[in-house]
Structures are given as structure tokens and as C-alpha cells.
Amino acid sequence: MPFDIARVRGLFRSLSDGYVHLDGPAGSLVPDSVADAVGATMSVAIGNTGGAFASSVRAGELRDAARLAMADLVGGNPEGVVLGANMTTLTYMLSRALGKTWRSGDEVVLSRLDHDANIRPWVQAATAAGAVLRWAEVDTETCELPAAQYAALITERTRLVAVTAASNAVGTRPDVRAIADRAHAVGALVYVDAVHAAPHIPLDIADLGADFVAVSAYKWCGPHVSAVVAAPAVLAGLHPDKLVPSPDQVPDRFETGTPPFELYAGVVAAVDHIAALDGESSGKDRRQRVLSSMVAVEDYERELMERLEQGLRAMPHVRMLGKPARRTPTVSLTVEGMTPRQVTEELARRGICAWDGDYYARELMDSLGLSGSGGAVRLGLAHYTAADEVEHTLDVLDSVRS
């Protein structure tokens, strides 16, 4: 069955504002079901966890349901789901916990393709431990991250490899499994930033070969809650800084402070939204419905992306950054004679939401020589993007001249 974009768009009241929302890589729109779930939860009594009374029990149920939903999204174990405010905060916490196990001369392998949230915490933790940093470089022509280079980067001293499943700037999808296999051959751990990948492709932590997978619900139609998913046994060997009275079991020991229980209801609703995008998958369990839906999403977005890329490459005044073989429906570009901010201002005037800058992919923009000139313009398609919105965007960019 074809992807029913009319039905999908009908799930979003926010699409009634008349704008073309191509800003999803920075945060997606929220469907009505997610907003309603959060609102409904805030209208009933919710306590903190650990009590014997009903509202406390309800809070624990909300937390457990959110962990299960995150696990269903990536094929993980809910007992290994660490919930937190955002991927940056969680990665800083885990980098400090892992950094306690490193010694002078140990090595950490990072990638210039990544969002800074999967770079800077590891740089700082490695520096504090006296560990050596090694860098995987990007092919500046294609924006690929060649997996072959990891053969020289990963050694017997490697303790961690951090890599993205998809670039939030140019959409590149590296061969994470090949990189992970090399890391595991020397006993290193693999930390995968799947924040940008999760809205666009089916995810499976085992297929990736990842020890840790980080995702953020607000990138796939949920509230501002993130998670790092790992095997419980891996988490059991780590000891983050925490308050003495707070729980010490896994994964609770990694979750500090009182969480936003009402947003946990939104996480569940967001995964249920994803699971329902393929109308032909009803009757399966939620994990299977998530996978079926994300296959349908990937196919639909690929068609849109092919049209967008074809149109952009036909414009002599537009330069697309790279041409990776595998990518999410995300593209960065520059327009001759205009700064990226001038372009996005014109797009906004014509009803199109798009980002300019480095989108926290600073190492990539430095490699491409664009950091000093305002970065680039990013267009990000989503499962609620319509074909006519792509055509409108192409028409506007074709008319934009300095």
C-alpha cells in the first residue's frame, strides 16, 4: 500500500499554520495524540516514585512504560533504558562514568561527522583521564565517513568508539556495523548517536553492533525526553556520580533528580504514533509495528529526497554539500552570493522553515571550510512532508538570487 500522507498529515494540528516545516532535524512537529497524552497526564494526580500510594505507583508506571517504549523503538531491553532530559546531558553523564575506567595512554576514537554532543563530552573525559584522542576524517567531496580508516584508528588501546548513525547536517549514514565490529575485536565499547537516524530508518541495537544507542523523542514527534539504551550488564559495570540516598540499581542509578512524568506519557504516545504510520501492520506487537512503519517511512522519504536532490542539483547557483551513498532525507547547501542566514530569511518570508549555521556539527563544518562563513542552509524532510511542499521549496530556491 502507498504511504498515506494525507492521513498522516491529518494527525497534526500544528500543520494548519500554513508553513512548510523543513526544520525537523532540530526538532519535529508533535502530533495531536502526543500533546493530548501529556495534557491528560497532567490532569490527574502524579506523585514521585517509591511511595505506597496510588499517585506514586502511577508515576512508576509512567516511567516503566516510557522505558519499554524506548526499548521497542531500538530493539533494546527496557531494563537497560536510561531516561534523561536530552542526549547531551546523558552523554556527558556516561562519558564521566566511562572516563573513570580509563587510564593514561588509553585511546578514544571520534568522528568529524558527528554532532558535537557525541564529540565534546568524550574529548573532555579523555583529556581528564589522560587518554589519547584519535579522529576519523570525512571525505569532503562526498561527506562520507569511510569505514576502512578505522582499521588504522582502532588499536589494542582503544576503549571507546563514538560514531553517529546518521549526520544531522548532511544525512550521511556511515557503516556503523563495520566500525563496531572492528571496535569489538579489540574489546572496545561503541557509543552510537542515533538521534538523527531514529526519525528516518528502522533501528536495531544488535544490528548496529552498538553497546550504547542514544535517541531523543523530540526528533520523532515526541516531547523533550531522551534515552540511552544499553545492555543492563554493561550499565552495571558503570558508576556515575549520584546522591547517596538515590537508588543504586540499573538503570535508576543513572537518572538523577525528579523526572517529568507527564512527558513520559508523551514518549509512549510518540512511539505509538510511529508504530501506527504503516496502516497495514495492525495486529503485530509494537516492536514489529515500529519496524514495519519505519520501512514505509524510509521508502516514502527516499522518493521525496530524490526529487529534492534532483531539483537542487539542476540549479547552478546552489551547491549541495556532499553526495553520500546512504543518507537520511537531509541536505545542506549554500547559495552563491548569499549568506546562509540571508537564504533562510528569504525562505521564512516565503513560508518555509529551515535552519542555517553549523547545527552543532562544528567539526564537519570546519572540515568543509564553512564555519567562518555562517555554515550552510539545512533542509530536512519528515514523514509528514508532502510532495507539493518539496516542489514549493524548489521553486523558492530557484528564484533566490543575490
CATH of the domain at 362: 3.90.1150.10
What is the three-class DSSP state of 217? helix
Residue 385 amino acid letter:
T
- If asked whether residues 107 and 246 sit together in one domain, one would say yes
Task: Check whether residue 10 and residue 77 sit in a common domain.
Answer: no
Domain assignment of residue 96, given as a range:
35-273
Q: What is the dihedral of CA 162, 168, 170, 172, to 10 degrees?
A: 40
If asked whether residues 361 and 218 sit together in one domain, one would say no
Q: Are 67 and 78 in contact (CB under 8 A)?
A: yes
Backbone angles phi, psi at 155, to 5 degrees: -130, 180
Instruction: Please give the pLDDT value at position 283.
Output: 75
Distance CA 205, CA 43 (A): 36
**Would residue 281 count as lying in a domain?**
no
Q: Are residues 25 and 50 in the same domain?
A: no
Q: Which domain CATH number covers 198?
A: 3.40.640.10
| 250 and 116 belong to one structural domain | yes
pLDDT for residue 282 is more than 90: no
Q: What pLDDT, on the 0 to 100 scale, is given for residue 2?
A: 81
Asked if 300 and 260 sit in the same domain, the reply is: no
- In this structure, the answer to whether residues 17 and 65 fall within a common structural domain is no
Do 114 and 187 have their domain in common?
Answer: yes
Q: How far apart are CA 359 and CA 368, in angstroms?
A: 14
Residue 263 and residue 301 in one domain: no
Tell whether 50 and 177 lie within a shared domain. Answer: yes
**Percent of the chain predicted with pLDDT > 90:** 98
Mean pLDDT of the chain: 97
Residue range 209-225, pLDDT digits in tens: 999 999 999 999 999 99
Residues 191 and 109 in one domain: yes
Question: Is 105 in the same domain as 185?
Answer: yes
304-314: per-residue pLDDT in tens?
999 999 999 99
Summarised one tens digit per residue, pLDDT across range 353-372 is 999 999 999 999 999 999 99
**Residue 101 confidence (pLDDT):** 97
How high is the pLDDT of residue 220?
Answer: 98
DSSP 167-200: -TTT-B---HHHHHHHHHHTT-EEEEE-TTTTTT
**Segment 313-334, tens digit of pLDDT:** 999 999 999 999 999 999 999 9
Assigned domain for 282 exists: no
Q: Which of 245, 273, 301 is the last residue of a domain?
A: 273
Would you state the pLDDT for residue 1?
65
List C-alpha distances in Å: 325 to 209, 229, 366.
Answer: 21, 28, 22
What's the whole-number mean pLDDT along residues 264-282?
Answer: 93
- Which are the contacts of 236, defined by CB distance < 8 A and separation ≥ 6? 250
Residue 278 resides in a domain: no
Domain count, the chain: 2
CA proximity to 161, closest of 187, 124, 140, 142: 187
- pLDDT band of residue 169 (cuts 50, 70, 90) is very high
| Residue 121 maps to a domain | yes
Residue-wise pLDDT for 74-85, tens only, equals 999 999 999 999
